[in-house]
């Protein structure tokens, strides 16, 4: 089978229904969120048993033990040559893993009780992710373990549960130094689930749904369901997005313990980024008329194809991925999964026109996939950053030979039915790209994916493109993924037989929000005394390029099927080009900073990707005291073809996009503007020369007042929901003060709490959980979290000599 010419359709299976009802139900799923006890720094087996843990810290899960810091340059300081970055000599890297205290051992303990009737049930513990090397104990007995901190796994604890009594659950975690290339987080950072069901049941992750045929009139829905009990009856009902019953079927064909159903779905509403329609399948397992088990599955219907010469098609329409890479941390929240934070990220990307996500370089959270299904993002789900050959001393290579297959199996079984997932990646820039052994490993991993899911292709993010041409590594992949190397695209296209290439990682442009450096020139690995990078978006890394070079490839090469930009948001760790400098503890790659505030580069991509809304963005800011009369270039990022620039009412001329250089093709640039205080205005023109939009930047006076802008004013009172409130300092006339660095303080009263704060400065050593922080480029973001109590909360933000800002946010029960 040629996967690159595959035509397939996937449908989602995702069990995420939290139930807190009685055991009269056939299946319950409970998130073990509250009541956890936590102790760091011990490896004593006695902690697995029942004893006095009142001195331990009480936490909620998901939990990242390291995010509260402090930042320290000595944490995980590495003397290393980063080979994939082209380094040949070791040097000291101080912020590579975020300079946060993730290294060490820790224990988590909780208790739960089950009624006496649970003695006749099957009980499963599911961990969505535990960083790392979790060892799980129940009532003092080790019941399971897993090595890979990014993977999901479950343990059948039926034989170890004490029905009608208290059960003690303990989890030991261990994070080694030099085990990561970025901040990995620490702890039970994803959800823990307690699942109770009858012993005659549908197996965990046992539902697989595909649609081998899709058109506007009907879809053929194939559902394979693994059952624990023979002789039972399986009935599947399908509901549309409005809850209307649209199809029902009783399984008639069984292969061993697997039921196989083909259901005709009339006039299906297809899933796509533009129309993320979802259905619900309810699988009921019966003994006669007695319901034994029931699984609710939300799903979407869509077809995908990858064809040489044509490229990628979704639902029969050719399109290119407008994607970004995302690390798993959520800035000031660390790695602890939070749906509100994930949703905010995706909504910001959606407005940019982004339609695809690559999980980098690890397995995504179930919540992220659920949101991508809902909001409409295609997904490239990645597995490993290492295979058998190491990048870091204590990385995944320690477990590769024994664990890689079971890690892939769990990834696929847990997530295979998400409509958002359109491709798998078995690795990223692995050193195994060289030589015959690497080719064998690539083939082995790809065949595991094909066995578990024959409907999606597999890629690898390759940076050693010349080596993969010579060895055959790149030729065997379903989709050749090139990390950077735009200068080799044509050569690789000719060398590889697939008839297409994917920009699996692109650009690696660096910038600091609101920081501009002069003179304005294109540069690689440029550094400055303040450890910031210029937001003129012309600076990148030694191995990479500025965005415009990728735009040319995407626009001019039909066989290039899209790109995944490095990265959508800044992340903790990897502070290139300052990974040998201190203080510098987070990345500069993001289109948005660590606080989630868009940088200028966000609007460069938006001007190409968002075809539904106009973009007109002017840079830099216009507060340049001391630069009077000096050359201060002005750039415009816009989807209009031409614009005119005015300074204090005087026209500085009309610029029109052209193909003289990649930058002239995608940006409007006035390179010889002489700075003078006042008002900078740009007027955009349509194809007929009519003025259709304008934007201004005005020289601001002294900071005067704090303005607050929450992303949401209505929260759910569940103790988890978060409003992200952007604080901006303005002058007396309301003009933003782009260079303000005032210290602000935060206070929340009422039915809410202050959760965290972030200003987006990669060099800041202020902790996220303290209710004070300095502004960076005139802004910062405060996180306000609901409690379990319905009501309202008021955030007040104060600063010396500034008029305070207040905002009221309400929280309601669901």
Catalytic residues: 429, 505
Instruction: Give how far Cα 326 sits from Cα of 329, 554, 569, 738, Å.
Output: 9, 20, 7, 27
CA atoms of 537 and 484, how far apart (whole Å)? 17
Q: Helical H runs in 498-654?
A: 547-556, 600-609
CA atoms of 636 and 668, how far apart (whole Å)? 5
- The long-range contacts involving 159-163, CB below 8 angstroms and separated by at least 24 positions, are 161/114, 161/118, 161/123, 162/114, 163/114, 163/115, 163/116, 163/117, 163/118, 163/119
Please give the torsion angle defined by the CA atoms of residues 545, 548, 552 and 555, in that order, rounded to the nearest 10 degrees: 130
User: Which pairing describes strands 722-730 and 705-710: parallel, antiparallel, or unpaired?
Assistant: antiparallel
Residues 456, 422: contact at Cβ < 8 Å?
yes
| Token pair recorded at residue 528 | 């400055």
Please, how many CA atoms are within 13 Å of residue 663, restricted to the half-sphere of its CB?
Answer: 15
In this structure, what are the phi and psi dihedrals at residue 803, rounded to the nearest 5 degrees? Answer: -75, 125
Instruction: Give how far Cα 579 sits from Cα of 79, 175, 583, 701, Å.
Output: 11, 21, 9, 36
CA atoms of 636 and 640, how far apart (whole Å)? 10
Strand partners, 237: 248, 282
* Residue 689 burial by Cβ neighbours in a 10 Å radius (0-12, 13-18, 19+): exposed
Residues 41, 104: contact at Cβ < 8 Å?
yes
* Residue 633 burial by Cβ neighbours in a 10 Å radius (0-12, 13-18, 19+): middle
Q: What is the total residue count of the chain?
A: 814
* Residue 754 burial by Cβ neighbours in a 10 Å radius (0-12, 13-18, 19+): middle
* Three-state SS at 273: coil
């Amino acid at each position: 089978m040629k996967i690159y010419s595959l035509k397939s359709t996937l449908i989602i299976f995702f069990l995420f229904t939290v139930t807190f009802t009685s055991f009269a139900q056939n299946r319950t799923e409970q998130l073990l969120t509250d009541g956890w006890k936590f102790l760091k720094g011990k490896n004593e087996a006695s902690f697995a048993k029942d004893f006095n843990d009142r001195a331990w810290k009480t936490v909620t899960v998901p939990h990242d033990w390291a995010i509260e810091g402090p930042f320290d340059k000595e944490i995980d300081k590495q003397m290393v040559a980063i080979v994939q970055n082209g380094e040949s000599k070791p040097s000291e890297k101080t912020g590579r893993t975020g300079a946060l205290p993730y290294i060490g051992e820790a224990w988590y303990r909780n208790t739960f009780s089950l009624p006496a009737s649970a003695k006749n049930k099957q009980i499963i513990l599911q961990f969505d992710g535990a960083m790392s090397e979790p060892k799980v104990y129940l009532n003092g007995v080790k019941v399971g373990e897993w090595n890979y901190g990014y993977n999901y796994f479950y343990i059948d604890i039926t034989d170890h549960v004490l029905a009608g009594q208290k059960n003690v659950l303990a989890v030991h975690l261990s994070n080694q130094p030099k085990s990561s290339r970025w901040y990995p987080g620490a702890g039970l950072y994803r959800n823990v689930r307690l699942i109770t069901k009858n012993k005659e049941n549908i197996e965990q992750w046992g539902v697989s749904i595909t649609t081998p045929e899709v058109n506007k009139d009907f879809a053929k829905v194939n559902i394979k369901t693994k059952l624990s009990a023979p002789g039972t009856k399986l009935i599947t009902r399908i509901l549309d997005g409005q809850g209307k019953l649209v199809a029902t079927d009783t399984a008639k064909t069984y292969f061993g313990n697997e039921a196989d159903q083909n259901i005709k779905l009339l006039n299906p509403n297809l899933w796509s980024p533009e129309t993320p329609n979802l259905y619900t399948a309810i699988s009921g397992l019966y003994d006669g008329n007695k319901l034994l088990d029931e699984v609710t599955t939300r799903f979407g219907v869509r077809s995908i194809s990858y064809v040489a010469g044509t490229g990628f098609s979704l639902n029969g329409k050719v399109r290119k991925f407008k994607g970004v890479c995302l690390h798993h941390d959520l800035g000031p929240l660390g790695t602890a999964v939070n749906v509100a934070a994930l949703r905010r990220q995706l909504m910001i990307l959606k407005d940019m026109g982004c339609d695809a996500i690559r999980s980098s370089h690890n397995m995504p959270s179930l919540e992220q996939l659920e949101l991508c299904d809902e909001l409409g993002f295609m997904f490239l789900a990645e597995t490993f950053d290492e295979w058998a050959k190491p990048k870091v001393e204590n990385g995944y290579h320690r477990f590769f030979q024994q664990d890689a297959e079971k890690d892939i199996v769990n990834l696929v079984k847990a997530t295979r039915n998400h409509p958002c997932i359109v491709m798998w990646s078995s690795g990223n820039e692995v050193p195994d790209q060289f030589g015959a052994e690497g080719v064998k490993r690539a083939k082995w991993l790809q065949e595991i994916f094909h066995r578990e899911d024959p409907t999606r292709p597999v890629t690898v993010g390759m940076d050693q493109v010349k080596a993969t041409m010579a060895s055959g590594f790149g030729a065997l992949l379903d989709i050749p993924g090139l990390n950077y190397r735009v200068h080799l695209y044509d050569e690789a296209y000719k060398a590889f037989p697939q008839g297409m290439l994917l920009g699996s990682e692109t650009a690696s442009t660096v910038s600091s929000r609101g920081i501009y450096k002069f003179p304005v020139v294109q540069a690689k690995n440029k550094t400055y005394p303040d450890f910031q990078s210029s937001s003129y978006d012309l600076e990148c890394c030694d191995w990479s390029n500025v965005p415009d070079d990728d735009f040319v490839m995407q626009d001019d090469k039909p066989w290039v099927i899209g790109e995944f930009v490095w990265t959508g948001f800044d992340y903790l760790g990897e502070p290139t080009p300052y990974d040998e400098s201190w203080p510098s503890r987070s990345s500069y790659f993001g289109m948005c900073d660590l606080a989630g505030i868009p940088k200028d580069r966000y609007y460069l991509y938006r001007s190409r990707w968002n075809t539904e809304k106009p973009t007109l963005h002017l840079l830099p800011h216009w507060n340049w005291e001391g630069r009077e009369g000096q050359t201060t270039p002005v750039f415009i990022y816009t989807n209009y073809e031409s614009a005119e620039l005015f300074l204090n009412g005087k026209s500085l001329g009309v610029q029109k996009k052209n193909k003289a250089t990649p930058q002239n093709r995608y940006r409007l640039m006035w390179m010889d503007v002489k700075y003078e205080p006042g008002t900078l205005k740009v007027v955009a023109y349509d194809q007929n020369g009519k003025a259709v939009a304008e934007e201004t930047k005005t020289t601001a006076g002294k900071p005067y007042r704090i303005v607050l802008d929450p992303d949401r004013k209505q929260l759910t009172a569940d103790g988890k929901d978060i409003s992200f409130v952007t604080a901006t300092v303005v002058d007396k006339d309301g003009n933003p003060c782009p260079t303000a660095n005032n210290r602000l303080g935060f206070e929340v009263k009422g039915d809410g709490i202050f959760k965290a704060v972030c200003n987006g400065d990669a060099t800041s050593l202020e902790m996220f959980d303290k209710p004070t922080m300095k502004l960076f480029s005139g802004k910062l973001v405060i996180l306000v979290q609901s409690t379990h109590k319905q009501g309202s909360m008021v955030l007040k933000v104060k600063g010396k000599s500034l008029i305070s800002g207040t905002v009221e946010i309400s929280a309601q029960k669901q």
